[in-house]
Amino acid sequence: MSAAALLAFMLLMWCCMLVRFKLAIARGMARGERVKKQWRQFRETQAEVVLCLKGGDATLELLFSQLAKQTHRAWHLRVVVDSTEDPAWKLATSAVAAAEAAGASWQSATVEPLEDRRPVSGSLKCAALRQAYSKLLPETAVVINVDGDADARPDWLIMLVSEVCQPGVGAASGNRWFEPHGLGPVGFMRALWGVVCAAVCDELSIPWGGSLAVRREVVEASGWVELMKTSLSEDTALPGSLWAAGWKFVWVTGIVSVDDRPPGDLWPVARWLARQMLCSHLDHPLFRYTILPFSLAAVASLLAAYGATILLSGAMLTIAREIAAATILKPLDLQLPPRATLRWAVGSFVWVHFSQIVSGIGCLWCIFTSSVEWRGVHYGRTGHRHMHILRVDGEAPGDAKSAAAAVAAACKGAAVRAPLVPGAALIKCTKLA
């Protein structure tokens, strides 16, 4: 296949993805209008919001303030913090107390430390979620996971509850959108990655854990919580369990968390992108399709390094990103910042190829890597999907060795078992007879 043919195929794929993306947004907006008319009948549906924290992020104060002003009143808040020494502990306890003094919308709030700070397998976030799920109130019908950087507007909770309570729906989530802050390679890398990620997540029913609502039946009977015992992330582990249990996932187009913060340095962002791909690689049964757009775009960007094709491909990718941005922000009544300058246009054509090449490298990394770092915790991979903690930054060497010995003892004589149900990515250690 010639370079021109491959480039044409890549551009055609982007156009098809963009059309598919716009249709998904249109369907989501139409469904949202229908569901909005049913909000009143779901006002009394008991919900429980779970927030897992590690580190004092700058967005937490705003999030607690937004949660306290939800229009949905039949709900409870449960916050699980990494430890009482974590910066998030003081922030969470003081924010909850201040909100309750001012009349918070929740019926009750609980802030508790993570009990198992060194699980034998799985990530700390999955351990925190499993702890929260084990303590759900008897009347809880819907569980909502929220991240510290989510945008929880007043109708955020009732929108999620109403969507997930529709017939046949087992999970519903919003999405996250990245807008480049200024002109530079790192900002464009996150922004372009966000376009492909949003389209692929809609096509393959991959939720965003930052605003994720699930029925209680899914939590208790789908095998999802069991899968989290060995997983790095909870959201990419959900689709297989949903499909196997006969539930479907819907994307709530009216819930989008727009991240316009400065992207930071290249290396941390590149590691973040690679970790997102690794989560899909570990748990999603259709992982090969999640990396296809990144891989083809990276190859085409390399081929576009010669001739006039660099101008055409850069223009197409940039225009596609801007159209996608305008589409996804439409339900929120948000507009893109003005960027119609020659400097921005020329820079975008250059950085778009850089970002796609880095994303392609991230795809290869997530396939062959055996370890990953997340918020100061280093995880290792046993087999294909079994994740465990290798070490934590700042801990004594003796503690790391003891934890490693515990992992080895737990998996001694164990094997990684493949899922028996197609589409159900349920992998765990099982003792050999």
pLDDT tens digits for range 119-138: 888 999 999 999 999 999 99
Q: Does 22 fall in a domain?
A: yes
Kindly give the interhelix angle for 342-368 and 266-283, rounded to the nearest 10 degrees.
50
Q: Does 390 fall in a domain?
A: no
Q: Name the band, by pLDDT with cuts 50, 70 and 90, for residue 430.
A: very low
Q: Does 431 fall in a domain?
A: no
Q: Does 406 fall in a domain?
A: no
Closest CA to 419 of 224, 155, 193: 224
Q: Does 204 fall in a domain?
A: yes
pLDDT tens digits for range 138-168: 999 999 999 999 999 999 999 999 999 999 9
Average model confidence (pLDDT) across the chain: 77
- Indicate the number of domains in the chain: 1
- pTM to 2 decimals? 0.79
Q: What is the pLDDT of residue 205?
A: 80
Is a pLDDT exceeding 80 seen at residue 107? Answer: yes
Q: What CATH number is given to the structural domain containing 139?
A: 3.90.550.10
Distance of CA 29 to the CA centre of its chain: 21
pLDDT tens digits for range 191-250: 777 777 777 777 778 899 999 999 999 999 888 999 899 888 898 889 888 988 899 999
pLDDT tens digits for range 264-293: 787 788 788 778 777 777 776 666 555 555
* CA–CA–CA angle 427, 431, 433 (5° rounding): 130
* CB 186, CB 91: distance < 8 Å: no
Q: Which residues of 381-400 are buried (b: 16+ CB within 10 A; e: fewer)?
A: bbeebbbbbbbbeeeeeeeb
Domain of residue 259, residue span = 3-372
Q: Does 419 fall in a domain?
A: no
Q: Does 399 fall in a domain?
A: no
Q: Does 160 fall in a domain?
A: yes
